């Protein structure tokens, strides 16, 4: 056990920032592998990417038009050749001459400007410039990237733009971080799987499918480990059976201090050191986090809103930290549509909101951590810091947008 941890059983709650620091600080690199570009989107780069060429590799035309000398713009110009994209010019441009040129084609020697075809009048093999824009319309050799420049950084999330950069630097494969495999289990004798009969006193398991869906949306492989019964020994037995293929275990339910909450003791029996048990977060007070050699575990409360929110704000950033990426959820600024108040403000709170096209955050009818239906109508999560018990109508707030990662640098 970690003597420095805040113990939920003693009534002590770890502040939100300390929770995040403890959890993210325990992440260790997950290793790397090579994948083809077709499989690289959504992965995290495991090494810097350096350009093997200048970009552009030659002075190239940004427009369809005529390449000529800027000193000759007031004179009629004789067309000496046509330069198509993919071919190199054969002639040098001298006084009174020009070359018809296509977008992306190499600019002939001697030319220092490309005049758009729309700004010219052509007749009998000559061209007159009808309008001078003052722009060169040339993309110059190496103006974007020089050979040897670092074009992508280790830890970057690979999106379509990064795929283009990899391809442009002759990347057939990409070095990426190995993705952690999540093992998702739900606890409770009161649970029935969807499709099974529900007898008196039982409820359907929604947390398992929800967590599997959140993992898939994040691009993380996940295995559903089933419903764990409320009995001593069930948790360490499951961990033993799955430990050869799971990197991050996620349990929902059974993490508090009740008579049937067997997860904390079961994790310690399985060799996990519990670093967090009890967080000043709402919803999510009984949050549990632990580690052992080569594996980590989250214990989430059984209420579906707690599971949803904690995965988005804590589990997802941790999994990306394992891959070397400093992930933060996308946030937008909006104005609150009505006053928000709460009793007590010792915990960092999260509530569902809907965003309007004109920049307002609408507070939804929300009944607490069991009311997942509210999040089915929400666009985002409003975070209220600890110590804040009132937000005024019209006040500017930051709203977290759940969903797949969108930013490469977390900024």
Mean pLDDT over the full length of the chain: 93
pLDDT band with cut points at 50, 70 and 90 for residue 406:
low
Quote the DSSP letter at residue 141: T
Cross-strand pairs, 273? 291
Beta strands per DSSP E along 339-411: 340-341, 348-355, 360-363, 380-384, 390-391, 396-401
- Domains, the chain, ordered by start: 8-16+179-322 (3.40.980.10), 35-53+146-177 (3.90.105.10), 60-139 (2.170.190.11), 330-401 (2.40.340.10)
pTM score, two decimals? Answer: 0.87
Q: Please check whether residue 111 is in contact with residue 67, taking contact to mean a CB–CB distance below 8 angstroms.
A: yes
End-to-end CA distance of the chain: 35
Q: Write down the pLDDT at residue 410.
A: 39
Q: Write down the pLDDT at residue 345.
A: 92
Q: Write down the pLDDT at residue 344.
A: 85
pLDDT band with cut points at 50, 70 and 90 for residue 408:
very low
pLDDT tens-digit map of 146-183: 999 999 999 999 999 999 999 999 889 999 999 999 99
Helix or strand run (H / E) with residue 238: helix 234-242
Q: Write down the pLDDT at residue 261.
A: 81
Average pLDDT estimate for 389-393: 97
Query: Does residue 411 surpass a pLDDT of 90?
Result: no
Query: Does residue 9 surpass a pLDDT of 70?
Result: no
């Amino acid at each position: 056990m970690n003597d420095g941890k805040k113990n939920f059983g003693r009534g002590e709650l770890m502040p939100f920032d300390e929770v995040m620091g403890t959890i993210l600080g325990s992440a260790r690199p997950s290793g790397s592998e090579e994948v083809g570009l077709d499989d690289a989107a959504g992965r995290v780069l495991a090494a810097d990417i350096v350009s093997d060429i200048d970009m552009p590799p030659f002075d190239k035309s940004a427009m369809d038009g005529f390449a000529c000398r800027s000193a000759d713009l007031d004179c009629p110009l004789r067309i000496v050749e046509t330069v198509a994209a993919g071919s190199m010019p054969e002639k040098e441009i001298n006084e009174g001459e020009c070359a018809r040129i296509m977008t992306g084609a190499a600019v002939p020697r001697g030319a220092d400007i490309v005049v758009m075809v729309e700004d010219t009048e052509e007749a009998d093999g000559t061209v007159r410039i009808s309008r001078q824009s003052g722009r060169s319309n040339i993309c110059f050799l190496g103006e974007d990237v020089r050979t040897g420049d670092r074009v992508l950084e280790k830890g970057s999330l690979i999106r379509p733009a990064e795929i283009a950069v990899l391809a442009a630097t002759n990347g057939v494969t990409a070095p990426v971080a190995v993705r952690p495999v999540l093992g998702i289990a739900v606890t409770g004798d009161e649970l029935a799987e969807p499709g099974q009969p529900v007898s008196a006193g039982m409820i359907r398991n929604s947390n398992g499918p929800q967590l599997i869906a959140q993992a898939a949306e994040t691009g993380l492989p996940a295995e559903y480990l089933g419903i764990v019964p409320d009995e001593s020994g069930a948790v360490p037995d499951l961990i033993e059976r799955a430990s050869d293929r799971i990197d991050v275990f996620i349990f929902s339910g059974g993490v508090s201090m009740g008579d049937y909450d067997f997860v904390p003791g079961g994790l310690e029996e399985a060799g996990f050191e519990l670093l967090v048990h009890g967080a000043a977060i709402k919803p999510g007070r009984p949050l549990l986090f632990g580690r052992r050699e080569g594996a980590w575990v989250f214990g989430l409360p059984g209420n579906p809103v707690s599971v949803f929110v904690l995965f988005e704000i804590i589990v997802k950033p941790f999994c990306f930290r394992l891959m070397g990426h400093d992930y933060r959820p996308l946030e937008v600024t909006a104005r609150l549509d009505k006053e928000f108040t709460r009793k007590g403000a010792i915990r960092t709170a999260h509530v569902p909101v809907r965003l309007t096209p004109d920049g307002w955050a609408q507070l939804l009818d929300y009944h607490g951590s069991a009311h997942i239906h509210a999040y089915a109508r929400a666009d985002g999560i409003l975070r209220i810091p600890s110590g804040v018990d009132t937000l005024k109508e019209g006040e500017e707030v930051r709203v977290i947008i759940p969903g797949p990662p969108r930013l490469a640098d977390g900024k």
